[in-house]
Amino acid sequence: MKNCPKCGQTFNDDSLKFCLLDGTPLTESESQKTVVIPSSRPTNMVSGRGNPARKKVWLWVVAAVVLLFVGFGIIAGLVYFSYRLGSESAKETRPSVGNTSPPITAKPTSSVMPSPTATVETSSNDSNSNSDGSDEVTPISWGTSVVSFRPEIGKIYRFLCPPAGTAGTVWGNDIYTADSSICTAAVHAGKISLETGGEVTIEIRSGRSIYGSTTRNGITSNPFGEFAQSIVFK
C-alpha cells in the first residue's frame, strides 16, 4: 500500500510510483487499525436534542403555574363580586348619610304627609308646657319619620299616632335614628301601643356612632352604626 504525502490519497497498487491526482511521488505506508475514540457526550446530546423526559417535566410545571394563576384570578373575582353585591344591598336598605346635618333624603311610606305646621318647641321649655294640651299636635302615620320635617337638633315635636297601627322599621334602643318610624319607636319605648296609638313627644338630638338592638313590647329594633341625628321620647 502506498500513500501520497501531499493529498493523502492511498493506493493499493504497489506498482504505482506517482500519485494519480497530483503526480507526487508515493511513499510506502503500512495499514493501521482504525481506533474509535468514544465520545464523552451523552448519546442524546450528540444528536443536538435535549432530554424528552426533562422537557415534559418543564411543560407540566408551566401548566401547573398557569392553572394556579387562573384559579387565583377566579377566586379573587368571586370575592370582589360578593363584596360589591353586599355593598350595593347595604346602600339600598339604608338612606345615605353624610357628615352634615339634615336634610336627610328618607321619605315616609304613608300616603298621609305630615303637616309643615307641626308643633315645635325649644328644649329649654319644661315638660308641662309640652303636655298641657294647649299646643297643636300633628297627626302622622305609622310609616312617618322625623326626617320629613327637616328637624333641627334641640327641637321638640308632638305627634299623634292613629290606632290599629302596623309596625315599621326601627333602629336603636331608647335613642333611635332619626329615620326610624316614630310611632313604632314609641311602642318599643313603651309610650303607646299598636292597638290604641296615641300622642307622643320627641326631642331631636345629635347623632351617635352606634345604635343598639333589643326586643321590647313586641317590637324588635335593629342595630346600626353612625347616623347624623337621633330622636328620644319625652
Cβ atoms of 160 and 137 within 8 Å: the answer is yes
For residue 51, tell me if it sits in a domain: no
Q: Write out pLDDT tens, residues 83-131.
A: 777 666 554 555 544 333 333 333 333 333 333 334 343 333 333 333 3
Instruction: Supply the Cα-derived Rg of the chain in whole angstroms.
Output: 49
Question: Are 126 and 221 members of one domain?
Answer: yes
Cell numbers at 82, concatenated: 360578593
Counting the structural domains of the chain, the total is 2
For residue 107, tell me if it sits in a domain: no
For residue 186, tell me if it sits in a domain: yes
CA 106, CA 144: separation in Å to the nearest integer?
Answer: 10
Task: Look at the block and give the residue holding cell 336634610.
Answer: 103
CA 94, CA 207: separation in Å to the nearest integer?
Answer: 15
Lowest mean pLDDT among 5-14, 153-162, 176-185: 5-14
Question: Are 135 and 229 members of one domain?
Answer: yes
Q: Write out pLDDT tens, residues 185-206.
A: 999 999 999 999 999 999 999 9
Alpha-carbon torsion angle 214, 218, 221, 222, nearest 10: 100
Lowest mean pLDDT among 103-112, 151-160, 171-180, 223-232: 103-112
Question: Residue 226 sits in which domain range?
Answer: 120-233
For residue 200, tell me if it sits in a domain: yes
Q: If you write DSSP's letter for every residue of 21-89 in order, what string do you get?
A: TT-PBPEE----PPPPPPPSS-HHHHTT---HHHHHHHHHHHHHHHHHHHHHHHHHHHHHHHHHHHHHH
The CATH number linked to 155 is 2.170.130.20
Tell me what pLDDT residue 201 has: 96
Q: What's the whole-model pTM score?
A: 0.46
Q: Which residues contact 17 (CB under 8 A, 6 or more apart)?
A: 25, 26
pLDDT higher than threshold 80 for residue 151: yes
For residue 75, tell me if it sits in a domain: no
Q: Write out pLDDT tens, residues 38-65.
A: 655 555 544 445 566 777 888 888 889 9
For residue 94, tell me if it sits in a domain: no
Per cent of the chain over pLDDT 90 is: 42
Mean pLDDT of 129-145: 72
Q: Tell me the average pLDDT of the chain.
A: 76
Confidence of residue 137 (pLDDT cuts 50, 70, 90): very high
For residue 171, tell me if it sits in a domain: yes
pLDDT higher than threshold 70 for residue 31: no
Burial class (CB in 10 A: 0-12, 13-18, 19+), 234: middle
CA 93, CA 88: separation in Å to the nearest integer?
Answer: 9
Tell me what pLDDT residue 80 has: 84
Question: Are 29 and 126 members of one domain?
Answer: no
Q: Three-state SS for 18? A: strand
For residue 95, tell me if it sits in a domain: no
Per cent of the chain over pLDDT 70 is: 69
Which amino acid does the sequence have at 212? G
Q: If you write DSSP's letter for every residue of 165-205 in order, what string do you get?
A: ------BEESEEETTS-HHHHHHHTTS-BTTTBEEEEEEEE
pLDDT higher than threshold 90 for residue 136: no
